[in-house]
Structure 1
């Protein structure tokens, strides 16, 4: 069933380019996650230098989504299948955009050193991105995705816990609202990236279940 579905989605003449678009988008998320981690770990001055790179990566991700959309319009697949695949691409791009949003918040608010749990959460985002790249290599047979979704869900639970720890440290430390709110916003932005990564994995699991 999966092979029939993909033969309709990816004609032989264009099969490689379509696979490349999904893989390229996932690889871009890996690069963005690495940039994101470096940005969180640096000081304000270095962040102003690194942040534009995330903006560039977000822009490229949006362009890849447009190219994928064009391919899907030309394909002979059901609306449901097309919607899932397009949502997968959009969610990958949204995760990169969320990382850029975190960068913008850090630069605008001039926050100093971040709580260690947030840096650890960023490492989890890197790991989830790597798992997503591997998943795109297996789109030719969704049954080969294995426990991809389960692994990302585990990372999401860990990430959510780390964000809560960071917020707990913030509230325990206390201080003026104008100092606490920016760090709160950054923490929630990191949480949003984690949530989007879990959503992209869930979409591929829907495809796996459908084609079982």
Structure 2
């Protein structure tokens, strides 16, 4: 893509598209930090932290709406616009997935989580940090470098950690009432990891298109 942001014409009352995308990516980092705190605490603290994650999800949706409005009035190609909109929606979906995990923890009152799931949450934080750095380079996608490769590595690591957690859970055994909430939380974390990889893949499609 040839400096496509330079072909956008923001109004005086709206920020440039590049700023909105970066703000959304930075919100992802904040949500990932909230998500890790929620996973690492007990029930009482989780009930206090969960509303923050809900608010971050709401803000992410609003940013997506503003990004869609900017794209509707931009002069970039329909293909680029579709990819950028899909990228922003996927980032919002990541935040929504983390909120979903938080809701599961609060509603089911799950106790201390297995260490592998806490480690997987750290990987989600790292992927969010890489996504922020990538969002700053979307005006010249050739600068994205190995962003997608790094996210793929984090995805494989995160999925392995989730499998370890599930394996230990089934090995330990117990009633369905005890096992199901932890299983649902593990699968929600896996979904979050998969969405982060999807966002990175969309950004990589922009890089390939502009190669």
Q: Which runs of 5+ in 2 are unaligned?
A: none
Partner of 2:2: 2
Give CA-to-partner distance per residue, 1:82-122, whole Å, 9 cap, x none: 11000000000000000000000000000000000000000
- Per-residue deviation, 1:51: 0.4
Partner-residue secondary structure (3-state), 2:16: helix
Q: How far apart, CA to CA, are the structure 2 residues paired with 1:67 and 1:12? A: 12
Which residue of 1 is the match for residue 119 of structure 2? 120
- Separation in 2, partners of 1:23, 1:93: 13
Are residues 1:155 and 2:154 paired?
Answer: yes
Q: How does 1:17-28 map to 2 (within 5 A)?
A: 17-28=16-27
> How high is the TM-score relative to the length of structure 1?
0.96
Q: Distance in 2 between matches of 1:35 and 1:160?
A: 20
Structure 1: runs of 5+ lacking an equivalent: none
Partner of residue 9 from structure 2, selected from 8, 11, 15: 11
TM-score, normalised with respect to structure 2 = 0.96
- Give the number of the structure whose residues are more often helix, by fraction: 1
List structure 1 segments (4+ residues) > 2 angstroms apart after TM superposition.
5-8, 10-17
Question: Per-residue displacement from partner, 1:111-134 (whole Å, max 9, x unpaired)?
Answer: 000000000000000000000000
Aligned residues between the structures: 210
- Offset from partner CA, 1:8-33 (integer Å, 9 cap, x none): 2x237779622110010000000000
Query: 1-side partners of 2:135 and 2:125: how far apart?
Result: 16
Q: Which moved more, 1:151-160 or 1:71-80?
A: 71-80
SS of corresponding position for 1:112: coil
| 1: CA distance, partners of 2:99 / 2:35 | 8
